[in-house]
Amino acid sequence: MPSRSLLTLAFGLFSSILVSPVNGQLSTDCNPLNTTCPADPALGTAHTFNFNATPPAGTFNTTAGTVDYSTDKGAAFTISKKGESPTLISNFYFFFGRTEVHLKAAPGTGIISSIVWSSDVLDEVDWEFMGGNTTHASTNYFGKGKPDFHNAGYHPVNGGVQADYHNYTCVWTKDQLDWYIDAQHTRTLLAKDANNTLYYPQTPMKLSLGIWAGGDPDQPKGTIEWAGGVTDYAEPYTMYVKSAHVEDYSTGKEYSYGDQSGSWESIKIATGNSTAFENINKEPEKSLSDKWNDLPSSAKSGVYAGAGGVGALLFIALAVYYFKQRRRGQREAALAAQRQEQERVELERFKKEGRDPDAIAFEGAEYHGKGGMATTTYDVPESPPGSSAGPPEMEWDPTRTNATAGAAMPLLRDDAMSPRLASPGPGLGGPPRNNSFGSPIHSQNSGLPSQFSPPAPANRSFSPSNASMRMGSPGPQAGAGVYGVPRMNSPAPSHGPGSPSSPRPGYGPGYGPNPGYGGAR
């Protein structure tokens, strides 16, 4: 703690036996007795600081620990470990005046609760409470930092100093200093009795409220004895201060020393409002609830009406959005139901007509020599004959003429197993192909122009052998008197021996009832 009153006298309650004196004093950043120092900011007014909350900004500093504030107990100063001594020190000075502090002292051997006035020249006025003494309060004073072993006084406190809050008051003028406990006068010090005013406190003072460990093992032996013994830090010790009323008997902005005498006559007072006065009287920042309470009734009604209008608009917007989404959903549901009904009706129609709805059907255009383009419908079953999912494949019989009774004509192949590639064509002396009926394929008749030799496209349907054969270009068709060649189930053969793209020697009239280009290519 930056400032401590070190006493030189210890005694028993019923004796005046002196023990080793405690020699110590406060410290100061600049002592006007030795040099010129900056002016001290004045309080210049009277104010009660209620410590149920942090004091106004700029009025107090907290040092050597933390101070907690609560509405029921006020400021709490706690020592919980070695080295702590939480203290509030005012940023203002008063030049003669009055203080009233409502305080409950902390327990604990060696723990000192204190109310201290101090000046730049080390004038000092104290209230001190030993943690090991629950019944008495101590008063003391010093002038110019000089120790006097006979200055301390001990005063009984009704109800004890640690059980409850008590009002500890000092009234100070240039002539005398008085101490009061709960408005009961306790002690008076006349200026003339303090070494003919030399050691009488008479320079501007600041106020400190704090707690410190006089029984710390590192303190001098005399201080430990005066404090009541060695402090045990096994548990925390707390002093509480509810309020402090401070009154400055002088008015002005700041105080300064006119010389190095340290007398009250040397103090100069600058006029104007002090910084502390402005901080104390500054209107605090209002909370939202405070601002609301300050509004007139008409303004509050307007706010309510506006809020209600905004709420109504939001409700309407949500309702419109809801109904739009509902209508959209109904339309989508109706369209889905309509599609489902169309599919059901179509399925019923297929069933009535005896058609398989899973079959694939499409229409295509085909050219005929006489009639030109004709439209034909192709029906492709799901699986070809002979497959695992289709009907059984019938064996092909070339002697049958009835289209409905015959099996499909064997497909020609272009690979090594194809009869066309494995053996020469008819008329060249070769045997029948594949031990079956001789191939109906003939080369082009030499009587026709050579340009009538288009490659045969692959047959893309599983047509029966007696179905009419089609070709994309005209030509004479056997037995029909029209041009045409049958569409085969295999790609066009490779050009080579027996290729229909060039006449071969030894070919006579083609197979079939009419001579000429009547064979399938």
Active centre residues (catalytic): 124, 128
What is Dmax (Cα atoms) for the chain? 166
CA distance 470 to 373: 13
Q: Which residue has the tokens 């489902």?
A: 340
Q: State the DSSP string of 203-252.
A: S-BEEEEEEEETT-TTS-HHHHHHHTSPPPTTS-EEEEEEEEEEEESS-S
Per-residue burial over 222-243, b = 16 or more CB atoms within 10 Å of its CB, e = otherwise? bbbbbbbeebebeeebbbbbbb
CA distance 397 to 406: 6
Cα 209 from chain centre? 44
**Cα separations in angstroms, 289 against 212, 292, 294, 295, 510:** 40, 5, 9, 10, 115
Please name which of 280, 284, 257, 283 lies closest in space to residue 45, comparing C-alpha atoms.
280
**Cα separations in angstroms, 379 against 358, 368, 389:** 11, 20, 17
Burial class for 486, CB neighbours closer than 10 Å (0-12, 13-18, 19+) = buried
3-state SS class at 398: coil
Q: Are 356 and 350 contacting, i.e. CB atoms less than 8 angstroms apart?
A: yes
Please name which of 80, 98, 91 lies closest in space to residue 55, comparing C-alpha atoms.
91
The structure tokens listed for 38 are: 């900056």
Burial class for 291, CB neighbours closer than 10 Å (0-12, 13-18, 19+) = exposed
The structure tokens listed for 504 are: 């071969």
- Residue 209 identity (one-letter amino acid): L
What value does the CA radius of gyration of the chain take, rounded to a whole number of Å? Answer: 62
List Cβ neighbours of 423 (8 Å cut-off, separation of 6 or more). Answer: 430, 431, 433
CA distance 45 to 107: 34
CA distance 468 to 235: 116
Count the Cβ atoms, other than its own, within 10 Å of residue 249: 15
Q: Which residue has the tokens 């004890």?
A: 160
3-state SS class at 350: helix
